[in-house]
Amino acid sequence: MDTENTLAQDMTLDDKVRSWLCRIIFIATSCLYLYTAGFGSLDEMVQRCLLVLVAGFAVFLTKPFQIKGKRYVATRILDWVFAIAMIVVCVYIMSVWPARSVSTKAKPQLDSIMGTIMIIVLLVATYKTTGWPLVITCVVFLVYALLGPYMPGFLAHRGYTWKRVAETMYVSTQSIFGVPAGIAATYIVCFVIFGSFLETFGAGQWFVDIAFAGAGRFRGGPAKTAILSSALMGMISGSPAANVVTTGTFTIPLMKRMGFKPHVAGAVEAVASTGGMFTPPIMGAAAFMMAEFLNVKYSTVAAAAILPAVLYYLSALLVVDSISVKEHLVGLPSNELPSVKQVMKERGLMGLPILMIIVVILMGWSPMKAAFWATILTFVLSFFSKETRPDVKKFFEALESGTKSVVSIAISCAAAGIIVGILQLTGLATRMSVQLVNLAHGNIYIAALLTALITIVLGCGMPPTPTYVILATCLVRPLTEMGASALSAHMFIFMFACVGALTPPVAITAYTAAAIAKSNPNQTGFTSFRMGIVAYIIPFIFLLNPAILLEGSGMNVVLAAATAILGVFCLTGAIEGYLLKYWSMVARIMLGIGALMMMIPGMTTDLVGIGLVVVAFVLDKLIFKPQPKDPAQA
């Protein structure tokens, strides 16, 4: 018995050591990367490698190994073995990189050994953060690099030895420590820390309160609050899961209390939270990579996402309004709503850092510099109100949360780098591009549909960032060769990578919301898919008409925006059966076709679409005259 008690005490001590060690490392890392954001980056390899080191080390200490659901001494030792291995391989490459980067001699055997350990440790860390799909994909590509001569058709290549593969993955800035890891270690970590400061000092609560005060009184008010607050939260989090957990814990129970069915409440929050990935000014991690791939300013990417985000959230609001009418749901009484004046007085200053981000990025500042000074401004402004006034504990919590939140992104980016490295090493990216062109017979519509399907399937099991990185490497080129602009092709893949987390049967965002709503995950997933259907149409609109991304003349942009907005209204009426009035089934079909016609670029299709909408209205007015189920509520 004494032995068991001693063992339990040792385990408790081990947990405490892990917790405090990770906290210290997270705080120190946030300070380091804030410093590099404000005063200049470190050496390229060091900047990237340090973040992967911290992320990997933290994963093994915070997500321990388990055998049959239990923790044994052996598994605790295994945690430390992998954590220390991550330190060793990262420190090694940082120490030898200056010599390797300029040497043309054959690399020593130790490099391939260290590379092998790096790959193994990284794949285990990836499994612990994102699950099997990304790990399996990485393993398949590694095997593919070895077995090239035995592959059929266009997949065949000359094949490489494991030594060559391991060295390419490890002793290079084109694979594990490539562009994805580089973006994570510069732009992403800075913006995540900024978001952490905003959330810790009250901006998140301000977003919820201001949305609640503005929309709570209208029918379906809590659901509209969820959409507006999630849109605002998306500007600082860029993560659907973070959105769901942050705003959903408040909005989902409130929606249920006001009469929304549990699966509908969860679906509303899932749809609202997914849009955060492509809501400017602070979009998901992949948006920074898009700017790097396109070699444009981040402000260009953020500006391009404005109209798609507006269309998406407009659709969500219209869907919620339609459901509210059909279910006879009303808003909250004014005495239960927060005062806009009081909310602005208590936390309103927390909106200024976001305004600053927008202004300085438009002025041409680098995203890193903008994030650094916005973080400083957030800290300074927090002293002006007693509700947000920081203490030492809050300050360190913000620093800790910053790096802690970027751990899974850093690991995913490093793992995605393996796949990108194999695509470049074997030349598969070029061959896949040629195959897509041949399969589509040069037709951009077919190519876009195939690209969307591939992206959604991959995005169902993998996070949006690695999904985008992998597919942008090989599928952007064929789309541009068939006439799409580079920006629209990248944004097309990016948006479908985002909605992959909303797509059944593996709708991760919807499942997260279902857990809070205590609803059936599959029912919540399919409901969120139906409610977010516009997100699957918008990418096709801007792929064919880049004016939606603010490319082209001002008149073209205005016309494209106007017809797209009208199309969203009509599509909502077609799907939900209500838009300003109840619609018959025949009219709904005509509305749906008319909406799609208006979303296709061209004056002829716009006129046909508007004509169908007019005919649908006349038919319902004179012939069908549909009525609500409860006439008293019409």
User: What digits encode the pLDDT tens for the residues 506-530?
Assistant: 777 888 888 888 888 888 888 988 8
461-470 average pLDDT score: 84
Are 304 and 259 a contacting pair, CB within 8 Å?
A: no
104-112 average pLDDT score: 88
Nearest-angstrom CA–CA distance, 496 and 462 = 12
Q: What is the pLDDT of residue 604?
A: 86
Nearest-angstrom CA–CA distance, 512 and 524 = 10
In a domain, 122, yes or no: no
In a domain, 115, yes or no: no
Residue 220 has pLDDT above 80, yes or no: no
Residue 502 has pLDDT above 90, yes or no: no
Q: How many domains, in total, are found in the chain?
A: 1
Q: In this predicted model, what pLDDT tens digit does every residue of 25-51 receive, in sequence order?
A: 999 999 999 999 989 888 999 999 999
Name the pLDDT band for 283 (thresholds 50, 70, 90): confident
**Cα separations (Å) of 235 from 250, 376, 377?**
18, 18, 17
Name the pLDDT band for 442 (thresholds 50, 70, 90): confident
Q: What is the pLDDT of residue 3?
A: 47
Query: Is residue 384 classed exposed, middle or buried when 0-12, 13-18 and 19+ CB atoms within 10 A define those classes?
Result: exposed
As a whole number of Å, the end-to-end CA separation of the chain is 72
**Coil, strand or helix: which one is 189?**
helix
Q: What is the pLDDT of residue 350?
A: 83
Nearest-angstrom CA–CA distance, 207 and 222 = 14
Lowest mean pLDDT of 371-375, 458-462, 481-485, name the range. 458-462
In a domain, 627, yes or no: yes
Helices in 349-463 by DSSP H: which ranges? 352-362, 367-381, 392-426, 428-440, 444-461
Q: What is the pLDDT of residue 573?
A: 87
Residue 229 has pLDDT above 90, yes or no: no
Over the range 81-98, which residues count as b (16 or more CB within 10 Å of their CB) and which as e? ebbebbeebbebbbebbe
DSSP 8-state secondary structure symbol assigned to residue 338: P
In a domain, 124, yes or no: no
In a domain, 604, yes or no: yes
Lowest mean pLDDT of 41-50, 187-196, 210-219, 280-289, name the range. 210-219
Determine the Cα angle at 357 with ends 351 and 363, to 5°: 135
Q: What is the pLDDT of residue 162?
A: 95
181-207 average pLDDT score: 86
Q: Is the dihedral of CA 160, 164, 168, 170 positive or negative?
A: positive
**Cα separations (Å) of 258 from 218, 250, 298, 323, 632?**
12, 13, 41, 13, 20
Question: Average model confidence (pLDDT) for the chain?
Answer: 86
216-224 average pLDDT score: 79
Nearest-angstrom CA–CA distance, 343 and 307 = 28
391-407 average pLDDT score: 90
542-562 average pLDDT score: 89
Residue 1 has pLDDT above 60, yes or no: no
In a domain, 600, yes or no: yes
Name the pLDDT band for 209 (thresholds 50, 70, 90): confident
Give me the phi and psi of 185, to 5 degrees please: -85, 0
624-629 average pLDDT score: 66
Calculate the CA 346 to chain-centre distance.
30
Name the pLDDT band for 448 (thresholds 50, 70, 90): very high
Name the pLDDT band for 212 (thresholds 50, 70, 90): confident
Name the pLDDT band for 411 (thresholds 50, 70, 90): very high
Determine the Cα angle at 228 with ends 345 and 364, to 5°: 80
What is the residue range of 562's domain?
552-634
Residue 627 has pLDDT above 70, yes or no: no
Residue 4 has pLDDT above 70, yes or no: no
Name the pLDDT band for 631 (thresholds 50, 70, 90): very low
272-290 average pLDDT score: 85
Nearest-angstrom CA–CA distance, 548 and 310 = 11
In a domain, 614, yes or no: yes
Q: What is the pLDDT of residue 496?
A: 92
Q: In this predicted model, what pLDDT tens digit does every residue of 110-153 receive, in sequence order?
A: 999 999 999 999 999 999 988 888 899 999 999 999 999 999 88
Lowest mean pLDDT of 178-182, 257-261, 420-424, name the range. 257-261
Q: What is the pLDDT of residue 86?
A: 96
In a domain, 337, yes or no: no
Name the pLDDT band for 239 (thresholds 50, 70, 90): low
Q: How many Cα atoms sit within 13 Å of 476 on the Cβ side?
A: 20
Lowest mean pLDDT of 34-43, 392-401, 500-509, name the range. 500-509
Name the pLDDT band for 59 (thresholds 50, 70, 90): very high
Is the pLDDT higher at 328 or at 288?
288
Whole-number percent of the chain with pLDDT over 70: 95
Residue 7 has pLDDT above 80, yes or no: no
* Total-model pTM: 0.85
Is the pLDDT higher at 634 or at 192?
192
**Cα separations (Å) of 37 from 31, 32, 384, 610?**
10, 9, 25, 50
Calculate the CA 200 to chain-centre distance.
21
Amino acid letter, residue 334: S
Whole-number percent of the chain with pLDDT over 90: 32
Kindly calculate the radius of gyration of the chain based on its CA atoms and give it in whole angstroms: 26
Lowest mean pLDDT of 234-243, 491-500, 547-556, name the range. 234-243
Residue 160 has pLDDT above 60, yes or no: yes
**Residue position matching structure tokens 């590509």:** 141
